[in-house]
Amino acid sequence: MRHGKHTFKVGRTGSHRRSMIANMLKSLIENGRISTTVVKAKELKRHADKMITLAKKNTLASHRNAIAALRIEYNSLSSKEAREVKGGKNGAYSRDRFVMGKLFGELRERYQERNGGYTRIIRAGDRIGDSAPTCFIEYIQ
């Protein structure tokens, strides 16, 4: 029996699903709001709320769990990129570094006093091509 087992398959392999969720999480953290289908948004909401909970803990273990969930790859900076970062240019930082900084910086401080419910789903109607129900998912201010 499968009582209490939650699955989110959407016709994709496991590795594709994990990559898709990680990429959508990065986009959500980076932009604060993304447009997607309702099914994907409901699954993303579960993971996005867990990321904020990890950020609020702010431990080494929570950093490592967030890196694993977001599939972060820290590439070492070249000497030229390091000089640009010290000079104040953020272009040298990869998207992954920016996402982790925002998650454990701005978002952690914003939701420090809130006990859950960090995201909302706003329905936006059906998509033109295939009539899939679409929505916006965003972090609550």
Per-residue model confidence as pLDDT tens digits over 26-69: 999 999 999 999 999 999 999 999 999 999 999 999 999 999 99
Which 3 state secondary structure label does DSSP give 75?
coil
> What is the pTM for the complete model shown?
0.85
Does 2 map to a domain? no
Q: What is the CATH number of the domain that holds 69?
A: 3.90.1030.10
Does 27 map to a domain? yes
Domain holding 126, by residue range, is 14-139
Does 5 map to a domain? no
Does 7 map to a domain? no
pLDDT tens digits, 64-77? 999 999 998 877 77
The number of distinct structural domains making up the chain is 1
Q: Are 24 and 43 in contact (CB under 8 A)?
A: no
Q: Are 68 and 135 in contact (CB under 8 A)?
A: no
